[in-house]
Amino acid sequence: MRRLHVGALLAGGVAAALMLTSPALAQGDTSFSGARVEGVAGWDRPKAGGEHQDGVAAGLGAGYDFRSGGSVFGVEGEATASTAKDCTHNVVVTGDKLCEKARRDLYVGGRVGAVVAPKTLLDAKAGYSNARFSVDYKDGGTGAANSSSGSNLDGVRVGGGVEHELGTRSYVKAEYRYTNYEKGAERHQLLAGVGVRF
């Protein structure tokens, strides 16, 4: 239910911005359109089984946007990695360590936005995410009992943010994202990015 509430709020916000956008902002304007590549980084908090882990996520994305008047529609994909992990010591024997780690995250989806100023875009996104998580055990001794296992979880991501053009081809952005994965896992992120259009 929480995922639906967040998505409804984001969609409502973008709809309101679209209605308030002046048509004069974008007649024949090609800003916020075309192919783009970007780098992103920021705060990452995966959560599973009631436990959360804070870390830094960073990665690369690419997309293509279409502009119609004061509205922007786009498709995008992204691959990120995370430093988030939660480790427990002395689990079975003294000196051992068990770590749960967030690994790579793959995302593909779409976005819709409203140009609210000549160089500023507000947008909402939604799409599919597949994240890998691992559990590593170190016995703290000979290593004979060391083990590692991982799983890939499918999820739905929603988010929203702001993008601002620095020039005719470069831009900066900031956004919040929420991802709801299977098996009760979820993720909150606050990321900033810089990109180039072609």
CATH number at residue 183: 2.40.160.20
Lookup: tokens for 18 = 């679209």
The stretch 79-86 carries a mean pLDDT of 94
How far CA 110 is from CA of 66, 83, 124, 138, in Å, comes to 11, 26, 9, 41
Pick from 11, 51, 53, 7: nearest CA to 156: 7
Helix (H) or strand (E) holding 81: strand 71-82
pLDDT at residue 162 tops 80: yes
Q: What is the pLDDT of residues 124-146, one digit of tens each?
A: 999 999 999 988 898 888 888 88
Between 173 and 20, name the one with better pLDDT: 173
The predicted pLDDT at position 9 comes to: 47
User: Which pTM was predicted?
Assistant: 0.79
The stretch 87-111 carries a mean pLDDT of 91
Domain that holds residue 12: 2-197
**Structural domains in the chain (count):** 1
Pick from 161, 44, 20: nearest CA to 103: 44
The predicted pLDDT at position 28 comes to: 53
* Spatial distance between the Cα atoms of 74 and 76, rounded to a whole number of angstroms: 7
The predicted pLDDT at position 4 comes to: 45
* Spatial distance between the Cα atoms of 26 and 166, rounded to a whole number of angstroms: 17
